[in-house]
Amino acid sequence: MSDVDARQPATGPGQRGRLDIAERVVERIATIAAAEVPGVLTTGSTLEGVLGRRYPKAGAEVAGRHATVSVDVAVAWAAPLADTAASVRDRVQARVQHLAGLQVDAVHVTVANVVIETPDTARRVQ
């Protein structure tokens, strides 16, 4: 019987291969994380998404183990914009770091739209 534990890899992580996280994956994580923040609304139809008017939306740049993320959000009327943007920044940074294992150097948040919810828009926004 061998002294090597079968549960332990014989080589270190760097010798087994490498993991690349695509920018699109970071963008998707950031979009979902931003949508989880109270006051941030998910807006836009499929057509508006094609035209770039669907929120939240994110862009990311990944360089090695570091990422920079930009997020555009629509915020519900009367939600404090600065507080909501800070919450988005914190949430996106935490989720990208936890789920992708990347160091997030910066999260740039743009409040691109303020939406006054009416009974009609509330149904459409969901």
Total count of domains within the chain: 1
CATH number at 56 reads 3.30.70.1350
Q: What is the pLDDT of residue 77?
A: 95
In a domain, 9, yes or no: no
In a domain, 67, yes or no: yes
How far apart, in Å, do the first and last CA atoms of the chain sit? Answer: 60
pLDDT band at 38 (very low <50, low <70, confident <90, very high): very high
Report the distance separating Cα 48 and Cα 98, nearest Å. 30
Cβ 113 vs Cβ 77: under 8 Å: no
Count Cα neighbours of 17 within 13 Å in the Cβ-side half-sphere.
3
In a domain, 32, yes or no: yes
pTM, two decimals, is 0.78
Q: What is the pLDDT of residue 34?
A: 98
Question: For 53-79, how does the pLDDT look when each residue is reduced to its tens digit (9 = 90+)?
Answer: 789 999 999 999 999 999 999 999 999
CA geometry: angle 37, 100, 84, nearest 5 deg: 15
